[in-house]
């Protein structure tokens, strides 16, 4: 895909001049892969490298609002120990390139997929440190005082957990607009899992920032070490219960007992990475949050993710997705409900 339809070069240069961000032409521009919803363009101007992030030309939602929220969040994280893309400047207006956008520092790191680089594949001990650095990322995020960093109105913490089950059940029921979709009859234990979640919902939590989609595909590792270079793709971030991120990570963490995930890239070699129980223990070491109900968060993650995936299967009946892909994700959704029930029984 060419980058020129995504960015008006002259308007961008004029805006960068106003921000006093180097001088000269844009050179070495290249679109980056890795993001699924938004566009990343890396380029050089003068002596500095930049990465521009903007929504696609036809975003599913309000792409400019997503960019404004992301830029605000990254600015708030600037002086924290959370590994994140470093914000350079943001444009809230649609007038420069057709949407809001922001510029950030390039991340010197790599996404984990397929065969690990030689350094990281060298020993199980290295991979163990990689796994712990993933949990350390959300532990650090959960420690941030969101009010102190200016994010008091970034989300509605009050009643956050109470809203979750109702919201996602409404989403599941809405799929019935797709004629032919078999409904919850095609998914095991939906009502049983839902009743358990409602009955065992934690009575209280300590509000904080949550990423909203935290897993191995949304972190980048340093080239020279097993630690994180950055947590990426912050479009779902909000204020709520940060243990939701822990539950999400546990629900889709590879390893013994994991549900086969057709969306995940196999990581080779895997031996050495911590188990899910070891991730929980690591989180507990570095957090003051109450983990007595950690199983609730893992079960909820299975419930939520299964409902999201079932949407593709339902849309296949409406002609908006292929039946092959829909059927594969439907199988994953079924497996997630089965895993949720196993955790409940345990």
Express each pLDDT in 12-44 by its tens digit.
999 999 999 999 999 999 998 755 578 899 999
Check pLDDT > 90 for residue 229.
yes
Question: In 166-207, at which residue ranges do the beta strands (DSSP E only) sit?
Answer: none
pLDDT of amino acid 38: 84
> pLDDT tier at 211 (50, 70, 90 boundaries)?
very high
Query: What is the enclosing helix (H) or strand (E) of 343?
Result: helix 323-345
Specify the pTM: 0.94
Here the tokens at position 41 are 């363009």
CA dihedral 308, 311, 313, 317 (to 10 degrees): 180
Q: Name the CATH topology of 9-106.
A: Phosphorylase Kinase; domain 1 (3.30.200)
Check pLDDT > 80 for residue 61.
no
Mean pLDDT (the chain, rounded): 94
The span from the CA of 15 to the CA of 25, in Å, is 13
Number of helices (H), then strands (E), in the chain: 10, 12
pLDDT of amino acid 36: 54
Check pLDDT > 70 for residue 336.
yes
**CA-based Rg of the chain, rounded to a whole angstrom?**
21
Q: Considering only 69-73, 94-98, 229-233, 256-260, which range has the smallest mean pLDDT?
A: 256-260
Angle at 83 between CA 47 and CA 208, to 5 degrees: 135
Query: What is the enclosing helix (H) or strand (E) of 267?
Result: strand 267-268
pLDDT, tens digit (0-9, with 9 covering 90-100), for 149-194: 999 999 999 999 999 999 999 999 999 999 999 999 999 999 999 9
Check pLDDT > 60 for residue 267.
yes
Tokens 């909203």 locate to 212
Check pLDDT > 70 for residue 263.
no
SS3 of residue 292 by DSSP = coil
What phi, psi does 12 have (nearest 5°)? Answer: -65, -45
Identical fold, 9-106 and 110-345? no
pLDDT of amino acid 33: 72
The span from the CA of 90 to the CA of 92, in Å, is 6
> pLDDT tier at 274 (50, 70, 90 boundaries)?
very high
Sequence-distant (6+) residues with CB within 8 A of 118 are: none
Buried (b) or exposed (e) across 94-131, using 16+ Cβ within 10 A? Answer: eebbbbbbbbbebbebebbeeebeeebeeeeeebbbbb
**Alpha helices (runs of H) in 182-293, residue ranges in sequence order:** 190-200, 243-252, 276-285
Check pLDDT > 60 for residue 203.
yes
What phi, psi does 142 have (nearest 5°)? Answer: -70, -20
CATH number corresponding to 110-345: 3.90.1200.10
- CA distances (Å), 271 to each of 23, 124, 128, 268, 280, in order? 48, 6, 8, 8, 18
Mean pLDDT of 100-118: 95
In 3D, which of 126, 83, 125, 132 has the Cα closest to residue 105? 83
Check pLDDT > 60 for residue 79.
yes
- CA distances (Å), 292 to each of 153, 237, 313, in order? 28, 24, 35
In 3D, which of 75, 95, 96 has the Cα closest to residue 84? 75
Domain parsing of the chain, residue ranges:
9-106, 110-345
- CA distances (Å), 236 to each of 65, 70, 240, in order? 12, 9, 12
């Amino acid at each position: 895909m060419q980058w020129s339809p995504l960015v008006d070069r002259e308007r961008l240069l004029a805006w960068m001049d106003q921000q006093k961000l180097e001088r000269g032409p844009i050179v070495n521009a290249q679109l980056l892969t890795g993001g699924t919803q938004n566009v990343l363009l890396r380029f050089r101007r003068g002596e500095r490298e930049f990465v521009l992030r903007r929504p696609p030309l036809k975003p599913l939602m309000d792409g400019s609002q997503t960019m404004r929220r992301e830029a605000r969040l990254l600015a708030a994280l600037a002086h924290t120990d959370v590994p994140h893309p470093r914000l350079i400047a943001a444009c809230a207006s649609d007038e420069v390139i057709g949407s809001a956008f922001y510029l950030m520092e390039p991340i010197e790191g790599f996404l984990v997929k397929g065969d690990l680089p030689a350094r990281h594949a060298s020993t199980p001990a290295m991979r163990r440190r990689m796994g712990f650095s993933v949990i350390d990322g959300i532990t650090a995020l959960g420690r941030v005082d969101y009010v102190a960093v200016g994010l008091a109105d970034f989300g509605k913490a009050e009643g956050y957990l109470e809203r979750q089950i109702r919201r996602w059940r409404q989403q599941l029921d809405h799929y019935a607009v797709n004629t032919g979709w078999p409904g919850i009859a095609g998914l095991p234990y939906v009502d049983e899992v839902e009743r358990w979640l409602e009955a065992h919902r934690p009575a209280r939590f300590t509000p904080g920032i949550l990423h909203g989609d935290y897993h191995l595909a949304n972190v980048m590792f340093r080239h020279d070490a097993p630690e994180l270079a950055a947590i990426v793709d912050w479009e779902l971030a909000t204020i709520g219960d940060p243990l939701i991120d822990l539950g999400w990570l546990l629900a889709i963490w590879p390893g013994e007992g994991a549900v086969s995930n057709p969306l995940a890239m196999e990581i080779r070699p895997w031996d050495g990475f911590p188990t899910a129980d070891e991730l929980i223990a690591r989180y507990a070491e570095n957090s003051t949050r109450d983990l007595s109900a950690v199983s609730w968060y893992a079960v909820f993650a299975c419930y939520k993710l299964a409902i999201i995936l079932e949407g593709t299967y339902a849309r296949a009946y409406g002609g908006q997705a292929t039946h092959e892909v829909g059927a594969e994700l439907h199988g994953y959704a079924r497996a997630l409900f089965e895993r949720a029930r196993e955790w409940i029984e345990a």
